């Protein structure tokens, strides 16, 4: 009898599916456009559903439009082990972002079927709905969706979320019933391409994700006074762009001085009236701050507010802040991280620990259960473009780490099975 630790996924089947899915929505440039709720998204969903069925899974669509495949376990009433990601893309997406995690999850189930095996826990592969825009799928499962704000989830094309969900088999009116808990999901592990260049530059095969960073996003408006650039003395100016320049440098310095190595970016700048011979009278800019520590984010915001007061006083401008987004970080469960590490050692793959500075479905799911993420390298750090590339060997390595991690977690959490209530099946979160 073959030991489960000796089993490897079917690499050829995985890559055939990656290449097949990449043809849906492929553009002349080589990028992929599969916007959520689009005809391409519907076609991709139908394709993925067929592969789930071939892998021995039952398939359903929940009210949030999440496509959920379930492979049976030896203890059908036990909470499920879950994996997955998304198959929607940005307008110029790549073939691996999201898709690898979904297809590797299906491959895990198919590999179990090939060997006529079942884990103790049922296995779920979740295709989260609209990850690239509203994240309504993951938020609905996590119970963080804004049920009283349907306009928040309107599609980029301006369609109502009610119509969009109906198109994919969801139902806004029943959205609250999509929520899950630790009694339903014992753990969630997401395989994803890094979307950065750290693993590649360091020659590392597997990234063990410490958590998904929180984000604070702001719009800052600076009001000065537009005036003639030639006739207004320097000491009489209220130059909004000078204030913006000081603020931009302050954002950089605040991040550089924090010990946890957060990132902070000013990526948008709008200058008015934006003429060569007029002193700028108004500037709008964005600030994006990210870190694994909520305390760090709060400290950065406090320092930024102090800087804004000082800059406004010194430049004789008025500066206002409008919050745009506030997302708390989610740490990966320590037992999931240690399990991934043990699997890497078993498979003789080198690894490193790193945070995810991009948002993922795991950010939301980690709020309700033990979460972990596995990264594989991205060539050149490119993502969301036709240049996105992770080699077949790297994809296979990631899928094998996912397979063995889920198998090992199945054994770890097996003690929670048996003739006990669902409430008792909840493993303790860190």
Residue ranges for the known binding site for Zn(2+) are 86, 97, 132, 192, 384
Q: What residues pair up with 185 in beta bridges, in sequence order?
A: 80
At residue 356's C-alpha, the angle toward residues 43 and 339, to 5°, is 95
Residue ranges in 34-130 assigned as alpha helix (H)? 39-54, 99-114
Query: How many angstroms separate the CA atoms of 119 and 206, rounded?
Result: 24
Candidates 194, 181, 61; CA nearest to 127 is 61
Q: What is the dihedral of CA 235, 237, 240, 241, to 10 degrees?
A: -60
Q: E-strand spans in 181-260? A: 185-193, 206-212, 214-223, 227-228
CA 87, distance to chain mean position in Å, is 12
Give the helix/strand (H/E) hosting 243: helix 240-257
CB atoms within 10 A of CB 364: 26
Backbone angles phi, psi at 332, to 5 degrees: -75, 145
Candidates 53, 139, 38; CA nearest to 87 is 38
Query: How many angstroms separate the CA atoms of 109 and 124, rounded?
Result: 9
User: For helices 334-346 and 392-412, what crossing angle results, to 10°?
Assistant: 120
Q: Is 274 helix (H, G, I), strand (E, B) or coil?
A: coil
- Phi-psi bin for 130: left (phi > 0), alpha (psi -120 to 50), beta? left
Residue ranges of the binding site: 86, 97, 132, 192, 217, 277, 290, 384
Residue ranges of the binding site for allantoate: 217, 277, 290
2 CB-contact burial (10 Å; exposed 0-12 / middle 13-18 / buried 19+): exposed
The answer to whether the CB of 275 falls within 8 A of the CB of 260 is no
Backbone angles phi, psi at 56, to 5 degrees: 85, 20
Query: How many angstroms separate the CA atoms of 356 and 371, rounded?
Result: 13
Query: How many angstroms separate the CA atoms of 282 and 263, rounded?
Result: 26
List all residues 6 or more positions away from 77 whose beta carbon is below 8 Å from its beta carbon. Answer: 422
The answer to whether the CB of 145 falls within 8 A of the CB of 137 is no
Here the tokens at position 394 are 């790297």
């Amino acid at each position: 009898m073959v030991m489960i630790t000796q089993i490897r996924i079917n690499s050829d089947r995985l890559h055939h599916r990656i290449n097949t899915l990449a043809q849906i929505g492929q553009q002349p440039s080589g990028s992929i456009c599969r916007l959520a709720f689009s005809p391409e998204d519907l076609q991709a969903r139908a394709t993925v559903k067929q592969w789930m069925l071939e892998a021995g899974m039952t398939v359903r669509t929940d009210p949030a439009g999440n496509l959920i495949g379930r492979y049976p376990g030896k203890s059908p009433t036990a909470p499920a082990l879950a994996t997955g990601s998304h198959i929607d893309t940005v307008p110029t997406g790549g073939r691996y972002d999201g898709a690898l995690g979904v297809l590797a999850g299906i491959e895990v189930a198919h590999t179990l079927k090939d060997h006529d095996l079942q884990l103790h826990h049922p296995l779920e592969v979740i295709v989260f709905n609209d990850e690239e825009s509203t994240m309504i799928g993951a938020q609905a499962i996590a119970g963080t969706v804004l049920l009283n704000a349907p306009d928040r989830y309107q599609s980029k094309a301006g369609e109502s979320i009610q119509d969009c969900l109906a198109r994919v088999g969801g139902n806004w009116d029943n959205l609250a019933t999509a929520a899950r808990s630790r009694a339903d999901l014992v753990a969630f592990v997401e395989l994803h391409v890094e979307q950065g260049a750290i693993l590649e530059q360091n020659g590392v095969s597997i990234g063990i994700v410490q958590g998904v960073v929180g984000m604070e996003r702001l719009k800052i408006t600076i009001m000065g006074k537009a005036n003639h650039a030639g006739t207004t003395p320097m000491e009489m100016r209220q130059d909004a762009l000078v204030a913006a320049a000081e603020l931009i440098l302050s954002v950089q310095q605040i991040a550089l001085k924090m010990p946890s190595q957060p990132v902070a970016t000013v990526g948008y700048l709008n200058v008015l009236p934006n003429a060569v011979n007029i002193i700028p009278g108004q500037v709008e800019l964005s600030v994006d701050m990210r870190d694994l520590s909520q305390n760090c984010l709060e400290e950065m915001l406090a320092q930024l507010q102090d800087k804004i007061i000082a800059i406004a006083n010194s430049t004789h401008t008025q500066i206002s802040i409008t919050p745009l987004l506030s997302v708390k970080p989610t740490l990966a469960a320590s037992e999931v991280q240690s399990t991934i590490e043990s699997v890497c050692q078993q498979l003789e793959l080198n690894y490193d620990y790193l945070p995810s500075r991009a948002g993922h479905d795991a950010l939301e799911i980690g709020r309700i259960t033990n979460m972990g993420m596995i990264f594989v390298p991205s060539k050149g750090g490119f993502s969301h473009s036709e240049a996105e590339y992770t080699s077949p060997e790297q994809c296979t390595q990631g899928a094998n780490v996912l397979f063995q991690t889920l198998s090992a977690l199945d054994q770890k959490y097996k003690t929670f099975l048996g003739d006990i209530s669902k409430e008792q099946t909840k493993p303790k979160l860190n």
